[in-house]
Structure 1
């Protein structure tokens, strides 16, 4: 059996050793996530180099994902660095000012580092601290001071994250720090960017332009949907993106948590319809930071995301800082394998109603390949591809056999790692003829152990002699073959 759902693992102190990374990759890690809210460039460089070296040793490709810090708001320093206790009904003054040693907060007066906030909140606005563990309600504003009422007992720590639900903050989606982090990532030849707190399509286009101007034209961009504006403007964000991450942690703070499951389903469905990969993230196996086994609710959460149609599931603190990083990957892989047994043989084989031109041709070829493979019981679908687009198309139809994709371009192979059901390999399989290319691709699949002599496979290809010219574009993939392995 092979796992079709991809696993994204956050790297951190818990998985710094060669042996741990090796076991995580063998257990099913497909993409290594580097959270640039934490760590130095030297630390990230060392971890990226380690993942790539071990991936190469194992012969198992692993993608590299840079997750931006994004426009964050944090609490300031506190007296003696100690957390302060607040009680329901207490009054507390929150001052918007730069974090510095000049001011240390107390239970009666704290600071946060977003200077424009007093002009953007109003009476009744909520300020949520440390993932919503402490809620403050704004009562009045005077200059940079906001007098608030504490809504629940709790502890406030320094440099903790702050969320303001339903407040349209004016922080740029891509900060100067993010720009520098992305430029660093491009020097490391990253494969993907997960862009935090994206609120509109223009922000995605800005990141793409930054990448293109600095040699990163093949980097794929996954906006993170984690605020109300991101949900409201989702359609334009999706159109501008290469894929989406459903970042349920902050999303469940910025909006009512009970709305998150439905929004997750809607986002996944829209990504599936747009043929773009989607990652479901945050707290999937959260208890495994401390425990060797997950709760039953966490198992159901992972399984339901797969039933919804997610391409990938993600581990955050479980792999970066937890006690059981390898076990968490094994568990997520095991849940995926078991859940995939109950998925349909393939997704509905239909051309989208809004498809036209080359998209119709591409859909028909992809549909035909999946239908043929299912009908004849093919062992795999063999896909020679230059850019990875054909593999992504076939992935959309969710066949129940491996999609073995081959490209001579390393960047295309790295992109395909994220596609559901696709097993990508870098190989030069293009021959002088279409038949020659197909034979070479099937021979390579056999050498790698995906098929044996006598097995049936379905192969896609592009025959330039019969290419379809529509809307001044050429549909490069235009044929699908059933072949028996020799």
Structure 2
């Protein structure tokens, strides 16, 4: 199955898309990998979804990635005696450690780490920012606040802390149990980490995972933005989680941050996913709004590796239509005459490594000679990532003998991944590349391709060779 676009689509599975037939429809409509939200999925549901995805993968003959999204710390107020209360702007309202029902003057906050970390002047945003409180006095046991805006608060509403660096890590006890269950399947390719604040938050997960999954940091807190270069360095990928990011930071700053994060990941050669509310109206409508189309198009023009559907595909009324609409938008943007120039203008010089130098040369040669495809042999996935960093306009075929590598690369811009045995010698390397380009529909007899690989063959991280070859009449090398 060949995609006629470079950007990838990440679709969330849920009640509307949990059966095998629907998963296949979503894949055929354009979903390249699937997200399982551990906030809502039990371990049994997770394992069932994984089994169904792998059945679809075997039937379609194309590697499909799976991302498990850990819930992260959910900070919520306690309950009220009457379920909800009305407040007045300017009044005093206290959050404290007394586990008794709240009223119009106070409420229980079952998070001692918040009580200890908040300082006077810090903002507390309740219910996705609908209620804005400002801390006036703190003593480690209570926070006395002033109501700045909003007048209503009810049971178990979420708390956001844009000014406060919490002393706890990003992994909760639930996340640790979920992570163990995810790793035990051996079938999950990415784990998304929620509410990352600092690079240290990645250390525990990295130690537990031991390279068995890629780590995708969700950027949704101001504290993460402040140390973003360090977080990118320690992450395998990033997700621009615009929902919570737009709660904890001014909404008008989110588009600029999206561009900054996309370009920072491009420089680092790390995949970046743009997520949240991309086609939100399609939860209940068969067509998106014009603004949503522009939003998806902006992410594609910026060179994001993937765009994500959440409730649109998980619980919406039109999951297949949402995926096909997103695929259509992406394909049209990539055919726009301005697209190549915009993508090229964002590129940064290659790093001083053999893989980067080879990838740059392959890009330039392929476009100068108008070759049919770039073929890269990659065991660990690093060579595929460096080839994608260059954003060539010709197709990039990533060949790997390791199915887990091919699945993990399914989130990466422009890579068409194929699982194949390692080449036995240089002739086999070229013949195999020509044959796969032909059978996958990227070239025909008489076309030329360029092949990158490492010699000795099968040596991870040793990309050091370029080879131009003709596709012969038998689909193999004509040389």
State whether TM-score is above 0.5: yes
Paired residue for 1:257? 251
1:425 matched to 2:423: no
Contact 1:408 1:429 in 2 (8 A): yes
Paired residue for 2:466? 479
Q: Distance in 2 between matches of 1:445 and 1:96?
A: 64
Contact 1:228 1:251 in 2 (8 A): yes
> What is the DSSP-based 3-state SS (H/G/I as helix, E as strand, rest coil) of the residue aligned with 1:387?
coil
Contact 2:128 2:247 in 1 (8 A): yes
> Deviation of residue 184 (structure 1)?
1.0
* Aligned with residue 454 of structure 2, among 434, 459, 462: 462
Describe the superposition over 1:110-157 as per-residue Cα deviations: whole angstroms up to 9, x where unpaired: 323212323322333322122112222334446633333333345434
Counterparts in 2 of 1:104 and 1:318: CA distance versus 1, 3 Å? farther
> Deviation of residue 185 (structure 1)?
0.8
Paired residue for 1:201? 199
Matches for 1:73-88 after TM superposition, within 5 Å: 73-79=75-81, 82-88=83-89
Q: Distance in 2 between matches of 1:232 and 1:248?
A: 16
Q: Distance in 2 between matches of 1:20 and 1:78?
A: 41
> What is the DSSP-based 3-state SS (H/G/I as helix, E as strand, rest coil) of the residue aligned with 1:124?
coil
Paired residue for 1:403? 396
Q: Distance in 2 between matches of 1:219 and 1:405?
A: 19
* Aligned with residue 4 of structure 1, among 3, 6, 10: 6
> Deviation of residue 381 (structure 1)?
1.8
Counterparts in 2 of 1:191 and 1:298: CA distance versus 1, 3 Å? same
> Deviation of residue 106 (structure 1)?
4.0
Unaligned runs of 5+ in 2: 474-479
Paired residue for 1:440? 432
Counterparts in 2 of 1:480 and 1:132: CA distance versus 1, 3 Å? farther
Contact 1:271 1:277 in 2 (8 A): yes
> What is the DSSP-based 3-state SS (H/G/I as helix, E as strand, rest coil) of the residue aligned with 1:478?
strand
Q: Distance in 2 between matches of 1:410 and 1:29?
A: 18
Contact 1:462 1:479 in 2 (8 A): no
Q: CA RMSD in A?
A: 2.5
Counterparts in 2 of 1:444 and 1:34: CA distance versus 1, 3 Å? same
Unaligned runs of 5+ in 1: 468-472
Paired residue for 2:96? 95
> Deviation of residue 174 (structure 1)?
2.0
Counterparts in 2 of 1:326 and 1:107: CA distance versus 1, 3 Å? farther
Paired residue for 2:477? none
Counterparts in 2 of 1:146 and 1:203: CA distance versus 1, 3 Å? closer
1:225 matched to 2:219: yes
1:116 matched to 2:110: no
1:71 matched to 2:65: no
Contact 1:384 1:406 in 2 (8 A): yes
> Deviation of residue 90 (structure 1)?
4.7
Deviates more, 1:249-258 or 1:340-349: 340-349
> What is the DSSP-based 3-state SS (H/G/I as helix, E as strand, rest coil) of the residue aligned with 2:112?
coil
Counterparts in 2 of 1:38 and 1:271: CA distance versus 1, 3 Å? same
Describe the superposition over 1:44-73 as per-residue Cα deviations: whole angstroms up to 9, x where unpaired: 222222222222222232211111111221
> Deviation of residue 275 (structure 1)?
0.9
* Aligned with residue 382 of structure 1, among 358, 365, 375: 375
Q: Distance in 1 between matches of 2:370 and 2:125?
A: 54
Paired residue for 2:303? 309
Matches for 1:142-161 after TM superposition, within 5 Å: 144-153=141-150, 155-161=152-158
> Deviation of residue 187 (structure 1)?
0.9
> Deviation of residue 266 (structure 1)?
1.3
Counterparts in 2 of 1:429 and 1:129: CA distance versus 1, 3 Å? same
TM-score (norm 1): 0.89
> Deviation of residue 195 (structure 1)?
1.0
> Deviation of residue 87 (structure 1)?
4.6
Counterparts in 2 of 1:84 and 1:57: CA distance versus 1, 3 Å? farther
> Deviation of residue 89 (structure 1)?
4.1
* Aligned with residue 239 of structure 1, among 222, 233, 237: 233
Describe the superposition over 1:371-403 as per-residue Cα deviations: whole angstroms up to 9, x where unpaired: 222122222222222222222111111112221
Q: Distance in 2 between matches of 1:63 and 1:350?
A: 26
Say how many residue pairs are matched. Answer: 466
Counterparts in 2 of 1:443 and 1:143: CA distance versus 1, 3 Å? closer
> Deviation of residue 429 (structure 1)?
4.5
* Aligned with residue 266 of structure 2, among 269, 272, 280: 272
> What is the DSSP-based 3-state SS (H/G/I as helix, E as strand, rest coil) of the residue aligned with 1:386?
coil
Q: Distance in 1 between matches of 2:279 and 2:154?
A: 25
Q: Distance in 1 between matches of 2:36 and 2:465?
A: 38
> Deviation of residue 454 (structure 1)?
2.5
* Aligned with residue 285 of structure 1, among 276, 279, 282: 279
Deviates more, 1:43-52 or 1:276-285: 43-52
Describe the superposition over 1:398-429 as per-residue Cα deviations: whole angstroms up to 9, x where unpaired: 11222112111111111211110001111115
1:322 matched to 2:319: no
* Aligned with residue 355 of structure 2, among 357, 362, 369: 362
